[in-house]
């Protein structure tokens, strides 16, 4: 994708993962992964890992406005070549 194709709030695909653009710079794009969310919690009984679908995480508010509950990732100008508006077919 070209930098001009990204816009804040727009979704795109990279590495067969769905991302949402949170910022566009002059040479970079910042995004959050939205196809799934992996969580880890610890209690007296041990560590629990859970993977939430987009629908589950969205309802729980994981993608609601900054600051986001998920990590933002920076895509540099070299990464943008691997991004697309359509999901990759495997």
Q: Are the beta carbons of 13 and 84 closer than 8 angstroms?
A: yes
Could you state, in order of their start, the residue ranges of all structural domains in the chain? Answer: 3-84
Tell me the pTM: 0.88
Q: Would you call the peptide bond into 67 cis, given omega within 30 degrees of 0 as the criterion? A: yes
**What is the C-alpha end-to-end distance of the chain, expressed in Å?**
19
Q: What is the chain's pLDDT, residue by residue, as a tens digit (90 residues)?
A: 999 999 999 999 999 999 999 999 999 999 999 999 999 888 888 899 999 999 999 999 999 989 999 999 999 999 999 999 998 765
- What confidence score (pLDDT) does residue 89 get? 64
């Amino acid at each position: 994708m070209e930098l001009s194709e990204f816009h804040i709030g727009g979704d795109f695909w990279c590495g067969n993962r769905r991302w949402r653009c949170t910022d566009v710079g002059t040479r970079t794009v910042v995004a959050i992964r939205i196809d799934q969310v992996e969580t880890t919690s610890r209690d007296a009984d041990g560590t629990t890992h859970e993977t939430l679908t987009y629908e589950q995480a969205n309802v729980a508010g994981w993608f609601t406005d900054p600051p986001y509950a998920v990590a933002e990732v920076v895509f540099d100008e070299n990464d943008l070549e691997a991004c697309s508006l359509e999901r990759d077919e495997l």
